[in-house]
Structure 1
Amino acid sequence: MSRNRRHLSQNFLTDPAVAAAVVRLAGVTRDDLIVEAGPGDGILTRAIARKARKVLAYELDPALSRRLRHRFADDPRVHCVHRDFLSTSPPRGDFAVVANIPYSRTSSIVQWCLEARALTGATLVTQLEYARKRSGDYGRHSLLTVSTWPRFEWELAGRVGREKFDPVPRVDSGILRLTRRPLPLVPREALGEYRRFVERGFSGVGGSLAASLRHPYGSRAVGAAFRHVGVDPRAVVGYVTPTQWIGLFLEVARI
């Protein structure tokens, strides 16, 4: 195992059937440009190339990068680049990300995806706990999920057993789907205000969600919004669904 591989907590897929399932869940078609972060041994790269128009595979490990270039030398659809994925600029045209990503870089890679303007979606093999947390599978919803929900849908699309990787990690993995909505659920000009609204709600100021939102929106407006959306003012912040958050915001902001 290389030093980079150990440092990045990277566990490579070993089962071609799992790789094919990830590509199928991603909905890859012959028209798609796919960007892959950390292709490693290329098992997922090969599965993507069977379906996509073009694959840009960014590999940080120099030995693995050389091996990948040799392995896909005869496939014009696959372009292997020795570079840190996080240092790249997103393509300008529509593209999607499909990748089995290092656990240690999950948050940074997800943020890269969220900030990429032309990204249509991302299908990421992540630590199962992360995928469950971001998708609301635990019954709770995180600040990141709620704040980005108007623009992106988060979904736990599948589970991958730990024995399907080398080296074998301590925990199972999840297949996390991040899909950009054709139109945001909040008017574009109000997305910034919505994020601030959510951050205020998650701040814990005042001891409850309703109390956190009373300033600067006012007790009357907040009370009316909670009644209209059907949310208990005493509700724990994490148990308020993204759809309810959006409803509260639209009511309080009078949009």
Structure 2
Amino acid sequence: MSSQLLGPREVRALAADLGIRPTKTLGQNFVIDPNTVRRIVQTAQVGPDDVVVEVGPGLGSLTLALLPVVRRVVAVEIDHVLGARLPITVAERAPTLADRLELVLSDALSVQELPGPAPTALVANLPYNVSVPVLLHLLERFPTLRSALVMVQSEVADRLAAAPGSRVYGVPSVKAQWYAAVSRAGAVGRAVFWPVPNVDSGLVRLDRRDPPATAASRQDVFAVVDAAFAQRRKGLRAALAGWAGSPDAAEQALRAAGIDPLARGESLTVHDFARLAEARPSRPA
């Protein structure tokens, strides 16, 4: 089974038929290169047992590449015009695969449940303006997601995959690494999109793993991560004063966690942040 993929002419014709232009508000840049969507599917390493979540399917370029390979595609689309057209495009270009598509008309950030079998993988060209919040929300909400392969703005890809000590290591890096091992999976040029964006893109692969063993909750760990990077130029004793209640209380927590009070957040691993969250002093009622 196969599907007819969309090229530049087909993408523009579909958009013209619908009377739409991609909008910056929704972070829409449509992929017009069939080789790119084939590459994404191959890099995602998904197969016939996978139930794939695709966020922002748009006109269906990646959807059509996924359908012949996986068991089911659950496409989450916020744009009702695009969402209404997607099943028609699939029926026209991949009629034998149409029953593998499930459309969810929703903002991905508000999705709490998905229809059908539990999803096993996320494969998406994520809207650039909400890529990190969407990724983190889905990883938190759907623990059955064993892997993800997402296309995001290149600098966001660098941040997600950054290691401690890197100048781009920060909140997205730590929070993504709470859920998964994260790595860059390639670069994507601007010319494969319509309209052509002003930035390069990158692929990021995430493979689910257990979070750090800690008595602290995920929310508590993420709170100290946010506090540490809110003033990233400061040492942690100063940066965490508000979080702990005072500079002295922050130093006490840092020493209890085995962390130098003069260190900066960019030097800590997700495991360090988990220990620090455990060591947070009790706040007065």
Q: What is the TM-score normalised by the length of structure 1?
A: 0.79
Which residue matches 1:225?
A: 258
* In the alignment, structure 1 residue 43 sits paired with structure 2 residue 68: no
Question: Deviations for 1:223-243, whole angstroms, at most 9, x for unmatched residues?
Answer: 8824xxxxx6544432x1526
SS of residue in 2 equivalent to 1:171: coil
Conserved in 2, the CA contact under 8 Å of 1:217 and 1:252?
no
Q: Is the 8 A contact 1:103 1:127 kept in 2?
A: yes
The one-letter code matched in structure 2 to 1:124 is: V
Q: Distance in 2 between matches of 1:5 and 1:122?
A: 25
* 5+ long unaligned stretches in structure 1: 227-231
> What's 2:8 paired with?
none
- Partner in structure 2 of residue 126 of structure 1: 152
Q: Percent identity?
A: 31
- Residue identity in the other structure for 2:87: R
CA contact (8 A) 1:35 1:98 kept: yes
Cα distance, 1:246–1:111 mapped onto 2, change above 3 Å:
closer
- 1:219 and 1:124, CA in 2 relative to 1: closer, same or farther beyond 3 A? same
Unaligned 5+ segments in structure 2 are 1-14, 241-246, 281-285
Q: Report what 1:242 is aligned to.
A: 269
Counterpart pick for 1:26 among 44, 49, 73: 44
CA distance in 2, matches of 1:104, 1:221: 34
How far residue 64 of structure 1 moved from its aligned partner, in angstroms, is: 2.8
Tell me if 1:86 matches 2:109.
yes
User: 1:134·1:154 contact (CA, 8 Å) conserved in 2?
Assistant: yes
**Residues 1:148 and 1:139: Cα distance change in structure 2 (over 3 Å):** same
Contact 2:256 2:279 in 1 (8 A): no
1:110 corresponds to 2:128: no
The reply to whether residue 169 of structure 1 matches residue 169 of structure 2 is no
Q: What is the distance in 2 between the residues matched to 1:143 and 1:19?
A: 29
Q: Does 1:65 align with 2:91?
A: no
2: CA distance, partners of 1:205 / 1:40: 37
Q: Bigger CA drift: 58-67 or 36-45?
A: 58-67
Maintained 8 Å contact 1:141/1:242 = no
Residue matched to 1:149: 177
Whether contact under 8 Å (2:67, 2:100) holds in the other structure is: yes
* Kept after mapping to 1: 8 A contact 2:127/2:152: yes
Q: 1:53 to 1:141 in 2, by over 3 A?
A: same
**Deviation (angstroms), 1:38:** 1.3
For residues 6 and 222 of structure 1, do their structure 2 counterparts lie closer, same or farther at Cα, with a shift above 3 Å needed?
closer
> Within 1, Cα distance between the matches of 2:26 and 2:169?
27
Q: TM-score, normalised by structure 2?
A: 0.71
Q: Answer whether contact 2:56 2:77 (CA < 8 A) is retained.
A: yes
Q: Which moved more, 1:14-23 or 1:113-122?
A: 113-122
- Which residue, out of 211, 215, 236, partners 1:184? 211
**In structure 1, C-alpha distance between the alignment counterparts of 2:53 and 2:47, rounded to whole Å:** 13
Tell me, in whole angstroms, the C-alpha distance in 1 between the residues paired with 2:80 and 2:250. Answer: 54
Q: Please give the per-residue CA displacement for 1:163-183, whole angstroms capped at 9, x wherever unaligned.
A: 1111111111111223321x2
Distance 1:184 1:199 in 2: 18
> For residues 90 and 98 of structure 1, do their structure 2 counterparts lie closer, same or farther at Cα, with a shift above 3 Å needed?
farther
- The aligned counterpart of 1:198 is 225
Q: What letter is aligned with 1:151? A: Y
